[in-house]
Amino acid sequence: MAAPGRHRLTRKRFTAAAVALAALGGAVAYTVGSPAGRAHAAPELAHVVLPARDGWAASGKGTTGGSAAVASRVFTVSTRAELAKALSSGSRTEPRIIRVKGLIDANTDDDGRSLRCEDYAKGTGYSLASYLKAYDPAVRGRSRVPSGAQESARAAAQKKQAARIVFAVPANTTIVGVPGTGAGLTGGSLQVKNVDNVIIRNLAFADVRDCFPQWDPTDGSDGNWNSAYDAVSLRGATHVWADHNTFTDAPRFDSGNPRHFGREYQVHDGSLDITNASDLVTVSYNRFTDHDKTMLIGSSDKDSKLRVTLHHNIFRGTVQRAPLARVGQVHLYNNLFDTTTRNGYAFSYSVSSRARAQVVAEYNHWTLPGDGKVSRLLTGDGTGALAGTGNLVNGRGTDLVAAYNAENPGKRIRPTVDWRPVLSAGLETSAAALADSLGRTAGAGVLTASGGPAGSAVPAP
């Protein structure tokens, strides 16, 4: 791949510990002219802002989330009801901080009672057996999408579930897991829609499951079951920093999904999708594990903006879309991709550059099993571009685009782009040590109350 112009930041000789904290989005601050090694006091994790030049979300005014929140706008929540109240209370633009303590189950009522799929279906007239009978393609064919009583009942049941598990995130908000509490959200979806300046950190997102997937016989040659919820969904959002989170389907893996009409009854959608002209987003130090459609950047070929940085993330046991990029300017650096089949999730591809996307991928590391092919790491539609340098596959420097193009001459990826990344704080010019370093520093549960890493390895989920 052709190397892009040089854009690494000039680095001062900070101590090794300070460099590590800065790369992690930590809060060690230095003042020019201060005595060597003397740092200002670090703010508490919930008040940390995105460091300067740390990806696209640092562009312009940067991303500060709710760091300026007054004491009355700082909430600590440990239940679904408390989370919903903290997100909806007061002004929709005044800064707020939400500290999540422990694991919150989104599929609960206001009294904390667990809700099952049957609870959402109650009173709607929906049943899966009736739905399958009504829309069996052997009888109905594959040219008409579902309509009528059972489709209306399915939509009504899905709406009831959405009212419990989808949480709208306002502008100027920080949502952060309290260190040491196993903080996270199971079965819940954070929706960042048409708002600016949001930080999401130190949270584990698990099994965001749609009880009522929709059958679409026109989706592909054989039809598909489509689910509705991403763990985190950015739609028309700007200045968003998603950092040190973990995303997984566990404990409900897709291998346990039944098949109906010859297709997998898919109950999971995306892990973190960035669509509908979202812009200026940094995704750093996250773990994406045990999932199929991991990250969509761009909802259609006609989407716009979509300037996104992904750095120091782990993709392990992901099938596809790591990410699938359309239209925008996407920078991938220092990410780790392990393509080994895990918990039934068999690898398809990592990065897709489509619809004129301009991707720069550098100093990333891929692990391929013995029978893996380098040409499968990328895919595209013949209009996208991907440029980069320093990428390793099983420890060896590899030209990913050349390998892909050699086997896909009809849908070639262009190896040059017309932009040059300049917001790349913490970029490491070797990918050789990523497997070791990110094993200790990526994902939820790593950060301490002061915003730095705990310093000890955290097992992968």
Residues labelled as active-site residues:
321
Exposure string of 425-440, with b = 16+ CB inside 10 Å and e = fewer, is bbbbeebeebeebbbe
Q: Of 440, 186, 423, which Cα lies nearest the Cα of 314?
A: 440
Q: Phi and psi for 297 in degrees, rounded to 5?
A: -110, 105
- Strands 358-362 vs 385-387: parallel, antiparallel or unpaired: parallel
Which residue type does 439 have?
G
Cβ atoms of residues 77 and 96 within 8 Å: no
Q: Which residues pair with 318 in a beta bridge?
A: 291
In angstroms, the CA 430 to CA 209 distance is: 38
Q: Please enumerate in sequence order all residues whose Cβ is within 8 A of that of 70, keeping only pairs 6 or more positions apart, or say none.
A: 95
Tokens (6 digits) for 63: 């991303």
Cβ atoms of residues 282 and 50 within 8 Å: yes
In angstroms, the CA 260 to CA 218 distance is: 15
